[in-house]
Amino acid sequence: MTAKPLVAGNWKMNPAAANFTELASAIADEIDKIDGVVKVLCPPTVALREVATVLEGRDVLVGAQDGHPEPSGAYTGEVAMGMLGQICSHVIVGHSERRALFGETDHVVAQKAVAAIANGLSPIVCVGESLDIRDAGDAIKFVHDQIVGSLTGVDNPSSVVIGYEPVWAIGTGVSARPDVAGEMAESIRNTLMDLYGDEAALAIPILYGGSVSPENIGPYIDRPHINGALVGGASLKPNDFGQIVSLVASIRG
Ligand code: 13P
């Protein structure tokens, strides 16, 4: 079984004007009818319910950008995976911005992935190397270790999605060369095969993320182990996001 193509839009802390309903419905109008690709919008936490309402009856899912592994308790400002599970189908864990700005380690990311799965959510587990690590020739080993560390305790990976986002390509306009991303995706696939066996590993979608646009998405999706995209900036532009989903569908769907 090969992984089902998936495109997720990570809105991050956007849009500033908080017109969530307008944005979600404009995007849904673009992508609702595109078959063969799982489509997920990940708005800020405050907008999850609103966006879920807009997407009711449409073929577009809602994802959170993070969640806390504990079921409840004194964690001011946090939202539990169980709470998110009532609204969302997916949750991003271990995004490089959370790792860099909020000190998240592989250990924490793994706890989040385990809690997400326990609450019926598909975790989109993000990994990716910095430019220093790539320049030192250590990217493959670094990402291998991130995958192993971030999936510790995940016994059944059937709902897991992997997001490979090289840190140097995020929000910079400098996307990774498709052969570079393809080589990393193949290495990630091999790591997943070692962890879970061939059949389970082949069913796990591996997404490329980092300055994805309608102009550059094609060659990524042509790579055998890249099954979709994790899109930041372009996911805030309904037409661009629509074109990305449609290109993924035409190549992979
Ligand atoms: P950009 O597409 O804006 O580079 O962001 C990528 C990303 O971080 C998605 O999670």
pLDDT digits (tens, 9 = 90+) for 178-236: 999 999 999 999 999 999 999 999 999 999 999 999 999 999 999 999 999 999 999 99
Distance 231 CA to ligand 1 centre (A): 5
The pLDDT, as a whole number, for residue 84 is 98
Helix or strand run (H / E) with residue 249: helix 238-252
Kindly report the CA angle at 69 between 68 and 73, in degrees rounded to 5? 75
The pLDDT, as a whole number, for residue 167 is 95
Taking CA atoms only, the protein residue closest to ligand 1 atom 5 is 232
- Regarding the beta carbon of 119 and ligand 1, being less than 6 Å apart is answered no
Question: Cβ distance 132 to 71 under 8 Å?
Answer: no
Per DSSP, 128 falls in state: -
Amino acid at 233: G
Tell how strand 228-231 and strand 206-209 pair up: parallel
Output the CA–CA distances (angstroms, integers) from residue 189 to 115, 131, 206, in the order listed: 23, 22, 8
The pLDDT, as a whole number, for residue 253 is 72
SS3 at position 38: strand
Percent of the chain with pLDDT over 70: 100
The pLDDT, as a whole number, for residue 124 is 98
- Regarding the beta carbon of 178 and ligand 1, being less than 6 Å apart is answered no
The pLDDT, as a whole number, for residue 136 is 97
The pLDDT, as a whole number, for residue 1 is 66
Residue 165 CB neighbour total at 10 angstroms? 26
Question: Cβ distance 217 to 208 under 8 Å?
Answer: no
Residue 95 is a catalytic residue: yes
Q: Can you state the percent helix, strand and coil of the chain, rounding each to 5?
A: 45, 15, 40
Which one is catalytic: 68, 90, 95, 225? 95
pLDDT band at 60 (very low <50, low <70, confident <90, very high): very high
Look up tokens 């991130």; give the residue: 146
Residue 55 CB neighbour total at 10 angstroms? 20
Per DSSP, 52 falls in state: H
> What is the pLDDT averaged over residues 41-47?
98
| pTM score, whole prediction | 0.98
The residues spanned by each domain of the chain are 6-252
Domain 6-252 has CATH 3.20.20.70: yes
Distance 107 CA to ligand 1 centre (A): 23
Taking only the tens place, the pLDDT of each residue in 139-165 is: 999 999 999 999 999 999 999 999 999
> What is the pLDDT averaged over residues 170-182?
93
Taking CA atoms only, the protein residue closest to ligand 1 atom 2 is 232
**Top mutation candidate among 212, 216, 220 for ligand 1, by most atoms within 8 Å of CB:** 212
- Regarding the beta carbon of 217 and ligand 1, being less than 6 Å apart is answered no
pLDDT band at 111 (very low <50, low <70, confident <90, very high): very high
The pLDDT, as a whole number, for residue 252 is 81
- Regarding the beta carbon of 113 and ligand 1, being less than 6 Å apart is answered no
Distance 211 CA to ligand 1 centre (A): 6
Percent of the chain with pLDDT over 90: 96
Size of the chain in residues: 253
